[in-house]
A and B are shown apart, each in its own frame.
Chain A
């Protein structure tokens, strides 16, 4: 029996019972489309992070108080201070480009008869060079502001919108942070999502002004350090740790009361987690594919029983066991494959819609698509083989007599 004849025969059978055919496909469609959807979104997220990475470079690391990120959250560790940053500034550690200490406060901000709670960052003027905010209106903090502890504020775009309304230039207006009056000198926006926490939803003021007027002490939340060359980052981290341990009086085997994290490490952690999550969810979706396969097998078994007489007739007019086996197998594979292709189309459409909504790149991985097609044919073969074999092995007399 020729291949084209087998295909036209299975087409006849499958299109002869559309309702059942589409319901059977549904399982495969759901399985394949979710695998495609999840992996496409996962890869989009990774692509997004990689894109961010290339925008800002990877020559950063940060110093935070606490033994590790968890103890830092508890807030019980010995703070780092402007003194630490100044000591680093004066140290002879090589390869450091910028040292940017950040002060931090959660304060009430009011202006234009609005009052909100916002995060305030104290930043030195040169943080602009390192973090490259986009200035929507006005200017960033200047060196003069640093030196004179000027009460000037750069509003994050979200804060500006909330206080003064969208598309309004608030430069020159005055606001109050807690009870201190500040002059708005600019509105900033982050260039990428990773630095949004510094520029979009916060108010930035000069660090010197913060320690004087807002916090009243020289405790800071973070020191960011950029290195002249990305490749020197690990060496520099080591040098800084040795220096700071000495500066903060930590001896011998004692654990450091601060921790350092490079931008690169953080990003690779995010990437690893995203990839793992994608894989895990895709695997779970894979289970639904197996369920779909069992559905195909179930229907094929019912079909074999229902078509027992037909099989008997085909055998009476000369069909060999192999002819029957191949016909039923092709039917199962066709079901799974068409289901798979519909699933791919649905999955990619869904991924496209979500990527538009979430603002991440839309990624089609040919490998995943090929894998999905392969998987669905495999499901057809595996779950079609048993029913097809059962059909092929039917005794023609029993089949003809079957009522």
Chain B
């Protein structure tokens, strides 16, 4: 593991938003390496640049300056189609809200990334159902996405994020809309995925949630304020 190139490497990364009302630099020289199998929490108040950083790591946006090496390849200059391919194959997203397509079944939601990857129908069914089974929702596969609970929605989102076997699971405030108990369940599940070898990048502003991670990076004013390993909190499930 030590000899391998880091999964994610950011070098002097800058992101500036240009607008007629004045330019705004959200990220001011970020240097960061994340290795395969890590569980990183990105923390910071609003305006700290953590969302911008997440967008760049998630290949939803490109940096203005600096390099973003994903598995050693600089994807900072990729075209929008190439970035779409990266998002499809390398990154699994879990968002805070609006994770699922409305009026669409759980199965169809999980199947979507496979469709964009041109996976043949038979394989799609198997892989989607396997992924749904992993999050324990096999019996809900044909339910419409608006007929399941908030916790279940996040689990379906995780199933969809995992279906392409991505290198990174990128979770943006995944528990922001959930009650404490359900949030805890989701986080325990995410930690379990990490223990199985999945690399997790978690964006949160809640200390409680960040405590599940093994490494906590704090951002402030577009710069890394601190980057420390973290001893995972032992959760006594009562």
Bound-state CA distance A344–B84 (Å) is 41
Contacts of B235 in A (CB 8 A): none
A14 CB, nearest partner CB in chain B, Å: 11
Is A315's beta carbon under 8 Å from chain B?
Answer: yes
Bound-state CA distance A309–B116 (Å) is 18
B183 CB, nearest partner CB in chain A, Å: 21
Q: How large is the interface on A (under 10, 10 to 19, 20 to 34, 35 or more residues)?
A: 20 to 34
A123 CB, nearest partner CB in chain B, Å: 76
Contacts of B116 in A (CB 8 A): 1, 317-320, 323
Bound-state CA distance A400–B103 (Å) is 18
Contacts of B53 in A (CB 8 A): none
Bound-state CA distance A400–B95 (Å) is 9
Contacts of B160 in A (CB 8 A): 317
Bound-state CA distance A2–B108 (Å) is 15
Given A309-B98, A321-B81, check contact A316 B118 (CB 8 Å).
no
Of chain A, the residue at the smallest CB distance from B120 is A2
Contact of B93 among A2, A317, A321 (CB under 8 A): A317
Of chain B, the residue at the smallest CB distance from A313 is B98
Q: List 12 A-B contacts (CB under 8 A).
A: A313-B99, A314-B112, A316-B58, A316-B87, A317-B93, A318-B85, A318-B87, A318-B89, A318-B117, A320-B116, A321-B80, A397-B60
Binding site for A on B (CB under 8 A): 55, 58, 60-61, 80-81, 84-85, 87-89, 93, 95, 98-99, 101-104, 108, 112-113, 115-118, 160, 164
Is the CB–CB distance between A317 and B108 below 8 Å?
no
Bound-state CA distance A310–B99 (Å) is 9
Contacts of B164 in A (CB 8 A): 318
B121 CB, nearest partner CB in chain A, Å: 8
B165 CB, nearest partner CB in chain A, Å: 13
Is the CB–CB distance between B113 and A318 below 8 Å?
yes
Is A272's beta carbon under 8 Å from chain B?
Answer: no
B109 CB, nearest partner CB in chain A, Å: 9
Is A251's beta carbon under 8 Å from chain B?
Answer: no
Is the CB–CB distance between B113 and A317 below 8 Å?
yes
Of chain A, the residue at the smallest CB distance from B115 is A5
Contacts of A13 in B (CB 8 A): 103
Contacts of A16 in B (CB 8 A): 102-103
Contacts of A317 in B (CB 8 A): 87-88, 93, 112-113, 116, 160
Bound-state CA distance A170–B215 (Å) is 114
Is A12's beta carbon under 8 Å from chain B?
Answer: yes
Is A192's beta carbon under 8 Å from chain B?
Answer: no
Contacts A313-B95, A318-B88, A396-B60 known; 13 new A-B pairs at CB < 8 A: A12-B104, A16-B102, A309-B98, A313-B98, A313-B101, A315-B84, A316-B87, A317-B87, A317-B160, A318-B85, A320-B84, A322-B81, A400-B60
Total number of residue pairs linking A and B with CB closer than 8 Å: 65
B49 CB, nearest partner CB in chain A, Å: 14
- Mask, A275-318, CB within 8 Å of B = 1, is 00000000000000000000000000000000001100111111
Interface centre among B61, B84, B112 (most CB of A within 10 A): B84
Contacts of B99 in A (CB 8 A): 313
Contacts of A310 in B (CB 8 A): 98, 101-102
Contacts of B118 in A (CB 8 A): 1-2
Of chain A, the residue at the smallest CB distance from B52 is A397
Binding site for B on A (CB under 8 A): 1-2, 5, 12-13, 16, 309-310, 313-323, 396-397, 400
Given A1-B118, A397-B60, check contact A319 B98 (CB 8 Å).
no
Contacts of B60 in A (CB 8 A): 315-316, 396-397, 400
Is the CB–CB distance between A12 and B103 below 8 Å?
yes
Of chain A, the residue at the smallest CB distance from B161 is A317
Interface centre among A309, A310, A320, A321 (most CB of B within 10 A): A320
B33 CB, nearest partner CB in chain A, Å: 24
Given A1-B115, A12-B108, A310-B101, check contact A320 B61 (CB 8 Å).
no
Of chain A, the residue at the smallest CB distance from B163 is A317
Bound-state CA distance A309–B102 (Å) is 11
Contacts of A396 in B (CB 8 A): 60
B234 CB, nearest partner CB in chain A, Å: 33
Contacts of B89 in A (CB 8 A): 318
B61 CB, nearest partner CB in chain A, Å: 6
A396 CB, nearest partner CB in chain B, Å: 5
A378 CB, nearest partner CB in chain B, Å: 28
Of chain A, the residue at the smallest CB distance from B61 is A397
Of chain B, the residue at the smallest CB distance from A6 is B115
Of chain A, the residue at the smallest CB distance from B164 is A318
B216 CB, nearest partner CB in chain A, Å: 25
Contacts of B101 in A (CB 8 A): 310, 313-314
Bound-state CA distance A316–B103 (Å) is 19
Bound-state CA distance A13–B102 (Å) is 9
B19 CB, nearest partner CB in chain A, Å: 13
Contacts of A320 in B (CB 8 A): 80-81, 84-85, 116
Of chain A, the residue at the smallest CB distance from B82 is A320
Bound-state CA distance A333–B172 (Å) is 36
B112 CB, nearest partner CB in chain A, Å: 6
Interface centre among B61, B81, B101, B117 (most CB of A within 10 A): B101
Bound-state CA distance A316–B113 (Å) is 9
Contacts of A314 in B (CB 8 A): 101, 112
Contacts of A319 in B (CB 8 A): 84, 116
Contacts of A313 in B (CB 8 A): 95, 98-99, 101
Contacts of A12 in B (CB 8 A): 103-104, 108
Bound-state CA distance A323–B58 (Å) is 19
Contacts of B115 in A (CB 8 A): 1-2, 5
A55 CB, nearest partner CB in chain B, Å: 61
Of chain A, the residue at the smallest CB distance from B90 is A318
Contacts of B112 in A (CB 8 A): 314, 317
